[in-house]
């Protein structure tokens, strides 16, 4: 701190105590807490009861699931913070194999609106397609996977990628749209050319 810099005023202990009490008695804080609890129950707690869930999962408490009766999660799956899995409203499914790892904010959707059949878009039909993620697949942070995509066993998809087409077994893919840039080496597993 320089000699001519203004000094920051600090509140006295009674003033800090009054500010704390005022914030604790503010009804807006409680209304916001109720909204958070309702959202968490609607997007995480209730859907978790309907998901077909394997053993030993680690699912972030802020992950969300839509149409959970059409979501199947394998054993030892790790789903990071703020991930969203949207199964289709009619028949689109999401199937995750064993040992799948999602970074934060991964988004999987088994349905997508059409857009050339008039307006508004939200009144148009949706195209649905199953999203299938194989065993030992890693999706980096903010990966988006669109309807009808299958990602083969042992594949890795780099952060920020948008997967519009299926990725073969053992492939390493990156980009928007995702493209294959290499293949993974897995001891004891033969990975054919990706």
**Residue 182 and residue 174: Cα distance in Å, rounded?**
10
Q: pLDDT grade, residue 115 (50/70/90)?
A: confident
Q: pLDDT grade, residue 57 (50/70/90)?
A: very high
**Residue 38 and residue 34: Cα distance in Å, rounded?**
6
* Contact yes or no for 143/177 (Cβ under 8 A): no
Could you tell me what percent of the chain has a pLDDT over 70?
92
Residue 60 pLDDT more than 90? yes
The helix/strand/coil state of 13 is helix
Residue 194 pLDDT more than 60? no
What average pLDDT does the segment 139-161 reach? Answer: 97
**Residue 181 and residue 194: Cα distance in Å, rounded?**
9
Contacts 24+ apart (CB under 8 A), 2-11: none
pLDDT, tens digit, for every residue of 72-93?
999 999 999 999 999 999 999 9
CA-atom Rg of the chain in angstroms: 23
């Amino acid at each position: 701190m320089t000699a001519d810099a203004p000094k920051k005023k600090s509140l006295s202990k009674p003033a800090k105590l009054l500010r704390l009490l005022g914030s604790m008695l503010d009804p807006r804080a409680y209304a916001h807490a109720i909204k958070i609890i309702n959202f968490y129950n609607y997007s995480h707690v209730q859907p978790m009861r309907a998901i077909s869930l394997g053993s030993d999962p680690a699912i972030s408490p802020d992950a969300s699931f839509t149409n959970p009766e059409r979501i199947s999660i394998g054993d030892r799956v790790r789903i990071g913070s703020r991930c969203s899995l949207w199964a289709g409203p009619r028949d689109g499914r999401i199937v995750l194999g064993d040992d799948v790892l999602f970074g934060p904010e991964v988004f999987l959707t088994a349905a997508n609106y059409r857009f050339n059949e008039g307006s508004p878009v939200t009144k148009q039909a949706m195209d649905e397609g199953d999203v299938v993620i194989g065993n030992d697949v890693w999706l980096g942070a903010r990966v988006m996977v669109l309807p009808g995509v299958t990602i083969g066993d042992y594949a890795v998809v780099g952060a920020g990628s948008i997967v519009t087409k299926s990725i073969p077994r053992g492939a390493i893919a990156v980009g928007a749209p995702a493209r294959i840039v290499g293949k993974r080496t897995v001891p004891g597993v033969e990975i054919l050319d990706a």
